[in-house]
Chains A and B, each alone.
Chain A
Amino acid sequence: MMKNINTKISEIEKLLERIEDPQTEMEEAEKLVAKARAALDECYNFLKEEPKEE
């Protein structure tokens, strides 16, 4: 369960910086892309799910 969407977004931004860095090996970049994509999906799903009672 995601607690703070802004923290998640910051994580994605950091992943993107590494993906876009030419120093990052292609193989590593591919793994990071998959990770960033999963985090993005998590954020979109978070908004579409009804918040639960806490």
Chain B
Amino acid sequence: MDRDFIDLSDLLDIIAEGVETAVPESVWVRAEISSISVNRSGHCYMELSQSENGKTVSQARCIIWANVFRQISPYFEGQTGSPLAAGQKVLLRVSVEMSRLYGMSLIADDVDPSYTLGDAKRRQRETLERLEKEGLVKAQRELCLSELPRRFAVISAEGAAGYRDFMRHLHENESGCRFYTRLFPAPMQGADCAAGIAAALEDVVASGIHFDAVLILRGGGGSLDLSCYDEYQMCSAIALCPFPVLTAIGHDQDVHICDMVAWDSVKTPTALADYFLDAVSLVTSRLDRLSERLKNAGRTRISLLLSRLDVLKARLEAADPENLLKKGYILVTGDNGGLVKRASQTHSGEKLVLRFPDGKVEVIVV
């Protein structure tokens, strides 16, 4: 059987020529990173994809050679606060390369971090609009936080520095007040973060335990690194949680959607611990004041009684005739010993007794 054929290498060379003709120069390509890895030589290998209605419609391998990656990687991270990672939308400048051995690859030599940041902002806006439409943005505000919250469900990663800071600060407090905390572990960053936290919130409710509040803790991170905290799945789960949810997801300057839907939010896990310790401090100061008042209550009563006695003594002294005599008044009594208050009560020849502070004098009325 004679058929025309060419060798595989020749075919691939033809394709390579065609590709070179079709895409002779570098182009900027918009895509999502499906996976990414860096080998020991420092070359970065990515799978890029494009999705429509949740389905992957295009996929291609992309390589950033080590000499380029060494420059691109810190630049991208410096601009976005996060390294290149799976799940990110990126704008890459690529050239197309056909290899006889490896097939088609895109070779990237530049990246535009502002596109990735812009995409994160767009997703943030879309989440907020959806939550507003569903009336979920202020749902948490309907809940009441106990005046002295002490039972907490903590959603965090066990090894996270933020979680450790919070636990140490809360439990090793000076007042000696004790708290109940239960960890519901969840990934606090990366592609699984939003779903993980939403699942942990479900676990909190399913535990059947009454918590005063649910705390979502994470320490620090760049703005893009925290973009999962803008995802609808997590934010709606927070809004619908039957317990007040308080967030402390890092030192970031930006406000995330999860902070907006939460009952309250503070910047750091340590600040959140202080939030509860301040409430304890208010109660203990009130108790200390009452304790002091109680200690003084006996003394206060005695001093009140003494003042009453002082008043009585003063009144008694004011009323004592002896004291009047000392002031220069005299007391006049008649023969019968009765008090003579008026001149008209006396008559000529009558004997009266004049009483002075130092003695008596008998006189006759002339």
A5 to B148, CA, bound (A): 8
Q: Cβ of A50 and Cβ of B179 under 8 Å apart?
A: yes
Q: Cβ of A22 and Cβ of B294 under 8 Å apart?
A: no
Q: Cβ of A16 and Cβ of B176 under 8 Å apart?
A: no
A4 to B284, CA, bound (A): 14
For residue A43, which residues in chain B have a CB less than 8 angstroms away from its CB?
283, 287
A33 to B297, CA, bound (A): 8
Q: A19-B294, A20-B297, A20-B300 are in contact. Are A5 and B283 (CB under 8 A)?
A: yes
Q: Cβ of A40 and Cβ of B287 under 8 Å apart?
A: yes
Secondary structure dominating the interface of B: helix
- In the complex, which of the residues A6, A33, A53 has the most CB atoms of chain B within 10 Å of its own CB atom? A53
Q: Say which residue of B176, B290, B298 sits within 8 Å of A40 (CB atoms).
A: B290
Q: Cβ of B176 and Cβ of A47 under 8 Å apart?
A: yes
Q: Cβ of A22 and Cβ of B180 under 8 Å apart?
A: no
Q: Say which residue of B148, B178, B209, B294 sits within 8 Å of A53 (CB atoms).
A: B209
Q: Cβ of B298 and Cβ of A33 under 8 Å apart?
A: yes
For residue B297, which residues in chain A have a CB less than 8 angstroms away from its CB?
16, 19-20, 29, 33
Q: Say which residue of B210, B293, B308 sits within 8 Å of A16 (CB atoms).
A: B293
A5 to B284, CA, bound (A): 11
B68 at the interface (CB under 8 A from A): no
A43 to B241, CA, bound (A): 31
Q: How many of chain B's residues have a CB under 8 angstroms from any CB in A?
A: 28
For residue B300, which residues in chain A have a CB less than 8 angstroms away from its CB?
20
B280 at the interface (CB under 8 A from A): yes
B160 at the interface (CB under 8 A from A): no
Of residues 30 to 54 in A, which have CB atoms within 8 Å of B's CB atoms?
33, 36-37, 40, 43-44, 47-54
A51 to B153, CA, bound (A): 13
Q: Say which residue of A9, A12, A20, A53 sits within 8 Å of B283 (CB atoms).
A: A9
For residue B175, which residues in chain A have a CB less than 8 angstroms away from its CB?
47
A9 to B176, CA, bound (A): 19
B177 at the interface (CB under 8 A from A): yes
- Give a binary string over B48-84; 1 marks a CB under 8 Å from any A CB, 0 the rest: 0000000000000000000000000000000000000
B150 at the interface (CB under 8 A from A): yes
Q: A51-B150, A51-B178, A51-B180 are in contact. Are A44 and B209 (CB under 8 A)?
A: no
Q: Cβ of A44 and Cβ of B287 under 8 Å apart?
A: yes
Among residues of A, the one whose C-beta sits closest to the C-beta of B149 is A51
Q: Cβ of B178 and Cβ of A29 under 8 Å apart?
A: no
Q: Cβ of A16 and Cβ of B151 under 8 Å apart?
A: no
Q: Which 7 A-B pairs have the closest CB atoms?
A: A51-B180, A54-B210, A50-B178, A47-B177, A19-B297, A51-B150, A51-B151
Query: Could you list some 13 contacts between A and B, CB below 8 A?
Result: A4-B147, A6-B283, A19-B294, A19-B301, A22-B301, A26-B301, A36-B290, A40-B291, A47-B178, A47-B284, A48-B176, A50-B180, A51-B179
